[in-house]
A and B are shown apart, each in its own frame.
Chain A
Amino acid sequence: MDFLSGLGTVFQLNNLLLLVLGVVLGIIVGAIPGLTATLAISLLLPFTFSLEASTALIMLVGIYCGGVYGGSITAILLRTPGTPGAAATALDGYPLMKKGEGGRALGIATSASFTGGMISCVFMIFLAPVISGFAIRFSSAEFFALALFGLTIIFSISGKSLLRGVISGLIGLLICTVGLDVIVSYPRFTFGIQNLMIGFPLLPSIIGLFAVSELLRLFEEGVKGKEEVQANVGRVIPRWKDLWHLKWTMIKSGIIGTFIGALPGAGANIASFVAYSEAKRASKTPEAFGTGIVDGVAAPEAANNAVTGGALIPMLTLGVPGDAVTAVLLGALTIQGLQPGPLLFRERPDVINSIFASAVVSNCVMLVVGLLLATFIAKIATVKKTTLVPIIAVFSLLGSFAAESSFFHMGITVAFGIGGYLLERNGFPLAPIALAIVLGNLAETHFRAALIRSSGNPLIFFNSIISVAFLLLAVGSVIFAIHSQRKTQRKEARE
């Protein structure tokens, strides 16, 4: 019944129009190589400001689902994955295109993305309320342990260097300490600047980190020639025979994607390669993978879109984002005055139901838009950077200005953009900074509240089984990340 009320909200005309707009914009931005779903959401966040919370989130979920799918279009047509999660799709998608079956590959990719997305929605709708019901009993110590576990995700999204990832994360946490202290309202690190009393505002910081730094990277790359998209790719609507042949591959990959998405730090790129490897392992003709077969398109596409629903589970139930996109989405909830986590299920069930319903409807819209407009979208996606970059730059800066008509916010966006670009250029990943900015206040508030409650006794963090379990998970995730990085380094050294 609750889900039906969510559907009712989504099907209100203005919400539905915004959802369709979100999906289309997400697909376009996702299809543009170098621009990710994170950038799409950061860039479009200011437009959701004036909207009601449910409406804003309906649109953002649409952008998220569309953005993840969009990457596959240019991966198939141009062998240039729009997003990192679509890299595995190019392995068989582009050879299919070369064989003159680009339309068939696009149709399979769209159907697989839809199937994967829907599977993850089912898991999200049934699992999320159960997890939040359990998490509602958490005390400060348990919340701190949970936030700490969330922060250890930094280790798994650190890219090549753990050390740099940890430094990025600590910089993000320190950024959170600027402004009035959360418990006694004492100004910290404001250096007499009145505008810093409320700390670094989330929206300009995120736009700066993800949009402006990305633009500076595009400036460094410069303009290369425009890529041409073949106009006639053949029939895009998939044949029933193909879908029937791929049913188990899509279902299995959808389940793989959902569970990998729910794991902190493991995103669409990991899920798509795991699903691709599994499809290859289970195939009767594994040697055909990479030469252009539909199984090699269906598996990664079902998995990377299934990540969307999977990643929303820990974000909504525990307030812990699994990757950069969900960190930005979490920020969007905070901007709307909502505190993600178990309490949200009790206080704002309308918002939760709208999110569930919008995820389902977004996948349906994505299916229709993808099947009808994929080649047209690919043409838009290949627009020259000379036109695209200045437009994004102006929208980023005006977006940060729009929220409070503040010139100071524009300055923050530029400062974060320059800082983010310099950090990334020197090998420091930006996702841990975003994650730390989002989780920083939660961690500090509960850490200090727990210590105050226990009169300063740190053993309070070991008093409950849940808290100990999260702390052990945090330690486990650090050990696992260190171990897998060493393994990769050894493998690289051997090669």
Chain B
Amino acid sequence: MGKRDMAFGGGLFLLCLILLYQTTTFYNPPTQIAGPSLWPRILLCLLAVFSLVLACKGFRQYRNWKQQQQGDEQAKEKEVFWTPGTKRVAVAIASTVVFLIAFRYLGYAVSVLLYFVGITYILEPVKGVKPFLIRLAQALFLVVFIYLVFGKALSVRLPNGILPRSWFV
């Protein structure tokens, strides 16, 4: 209902101001005609203007929506942000961040195994031992496949983490 545009436009406008201030600290030799700050300044000024336009449009939409709501009490509805879909996305993002950390410290094999099982559970929770074992087998297959593609074919040095290096040679 325009609220998001207001927030996004306003936030972006503020960010532009901060970055514009940052450009004043850029090195600019007196003889330099088109210095390092010229291009970013042009872009930031344009972005600031368009962000303001977006925020204003959002405000206008929000005001119209509010007026309509006052006229029709029954039509009052709240915008739902936390749908099951957005919750899944939030959990997936958190899992991915955990995966990045685990990848570095636990190694690729353990982290990929855990990530695969975790992500499949977020997408489709299952109960029982058999489906869990099937997914575990798929995850193990993926770990081996990654080793063959990245480790062997592309010669990427995958982090071994807590597992001994000799397992991956």
Please report A residues at the B interface, Cβ cutoff 8 Å. Answer: 46-47, 49-50, 163-164, 166-167, 170-171, 173-174, 177, 181, 183-184, 186, 188-189, 212, 215-216, 219-223, 385-387, 389-391, 393-394, 397-398, 401-402, 405, 407, 410-411, 414, 418, 421, 426, 444, 447-448, 451-452, 455-456
Name A407's contact: one of B34, B37, B57, B100 (CB within 8 Å): B100
B33 touches A452 (CB 8 A): yes
- Establish whether residues A407 and B89, one from each chain, have CB atoms under 8 Å apart when the complex forms: no
Name the distance in Å between A147's Cβ and chain B's nearest Cβ.
12
Partner of B39, one of A223, A397, A410, A448: A448
CB-based contact A189/B104 at 8 Å: no
**How many residues on chain B are close to A (CB under 8 Å)?**
59
Option from B36, B93, B97, B99 in Cβ contact (under 8 Å) with A216: B93
**Known interface pairs A407-B100, A447-B34. Does A220 touch B119 (Cβ–Cβ under 8 Å)?**
no
Q: For B32, list chain A residues within 8 Å (CB).
A: 184
The CA-CA distance from A47 to B156 in the complex, in Å, is 11
Contacts A385-B123, A411-B100 hold; do A418 and B93 have CB atoms under 8 A apart? yes
B5, B8, B88: which contacts A222 (Cβ < 8 A)? Answer: B88
Residues of chain A contacted by B146 (CB below 8 angstroms): 394, 398
Contact B150 A216, beta carbon cutoff 8 Å: no
Contacts of A171 in B (CB 8 A): 47
Task: Contact check, B123 vs A386: say whether CB atoms are below 8 A apart.
Answer: yes
A238 to B115, CA, bound (A): 45
Q: How far, in angstroms, from A90 to B39 measured CA to CA in the complex?
A: 46
Query: How far is B116's CA from A421's CA once the two chains are assembled, in angstroms?
Result: 21
- Complex CA gap A435/B4 in Å reads 25
For the complex, give the distance between the alpha carbons of A18 and B92 in Å: 33
CB < 8 Å neighbour of B115 from A167, A212, A390, A421: A390
Q: Which of B48-56, B61-69, B70-78, B161-169 contacts A (4 or more CB under 8 A)?
A: B48-56
Contacts of B43 in A (CB 8 A): 170, 173-174, 177
B24, CB-defined interface residue at 8 Å: no
The distance from the CB of B123 to the nearest CB of chain A, in whole angstroms, is 5
Give Cα A216 to B87, complex, Å: 11
**CB nearest to A174 among chain B residues:** B43
Q: Does B124 contact A (CB under 8 A)?
A: yes
CB < 8 Å neighbour of B155 from A50, A164, A222, A456 = A50
Cβ–Cβ contact B19 & A222, under 8 A:
no
CB–CB A47/B154 < 8 A? yes
A186–B27 CB distance below 8 A = yes
Query: Once the chains bind, are A170 and B46 in contact (CB under 8 Å)?
Result: yes
Q: Which residue of B lies closest to A180 (CB)?
A: B36
In the assembled complex, the Cα of A58 lies from the Cα of B16 at a distance in Å of 42
Chain B residue nearest to A394 (CB atoms) is B112
User: In the bound complex, do residue A163 and residue B57 qualify as a contact, i.e. CB atoms below 8 Å apart?
Assistant: yes
Residue from A177, A181, A219, A426 whose CB has the most chain B CB atoms within 10 Å? A219
Q: How far is the CA of A448 from the CA of B149 in the complex (A)?
A: 44
Minimal beta-carbon separation of B144 from chain A (angstroms): 13
Determine if A223 and B124 form an interchain contact, defined as CB atoms under 8 angstroms apart: yes
| B88: A residues at CB distance < 8 A | 219-220, 222
The answer to whether B34 touches A452 (Cβ under 8 A) is yes
Residue of B12, B27, B35, B149 touching A167 (CB-CB under 8 A): B12
A448 to B33, CA, bound (A): 8
Would B92 and A216 count as touching, CB distance under 8 A? yes
A456 touches B34 (CB 8 A): yes
Chain A CB within 10 Å — which of B23, B34, B37, B146 has the most? B34
CA distance A49 to B154 in the complex (A): 9
Q: Beyond the given A167-B54, A189-B19, please list 15 additional residue pairs across the A-B interface where CB-CB is below 8 A.
A: A49-B154, A174-B44, A174-B47, A189-B22, A219-B123, A221-B85, A223-B123, A223-B124, A387-B120, A402-B156, A418-B93, A421-B89, A426-B4, A444-B39, A452-B33
- Whether A184 lies near B35 (C-beta < 8 A) is yes
**B8 and A219 contact, CB distance less than 8 A:** no
Q: Can you list 6 A-B contacts with CB-CB less than 8 angstroms, sorted by A residue number?
A: A167-B50, A216-B93, A220-B88, A387-B120, A397-B100, A405-B157
Residue of B nearest to A387 (CB): B138
Give the residue name and chain of the A residue nearest to B145 (CB): A391
The verdict on A177 contacting B27 (CB below 8 Å), with A49-B154, A386-B123 known, is no
A393 in contact with B54 (CB, 8 Å): no
The interface residues of chain A lying within 8 Å CB-to-CB of B8 are 426
> Which of B54, B112, B124, B142 lies in contact with A386, CB distance below 8 A?
B124
- Given known pairs A216-B89, A223-B124, the reply for A451 and B33 (CB within 8 Å) is yes
Taking CB atoms, residues of chain B closer than 8 Å to A455 are 33
B156 touches A393 (CB 8 A): no
Q: How far is the CB of A392 from chain B (nearest CB, A)?
A: 10
- CB pair A401–B156 under 8 Å, yes or no, is yes
Known: A189-B19, A219-B89, A394-B115. A184 touches B155 (CB 8 A): no
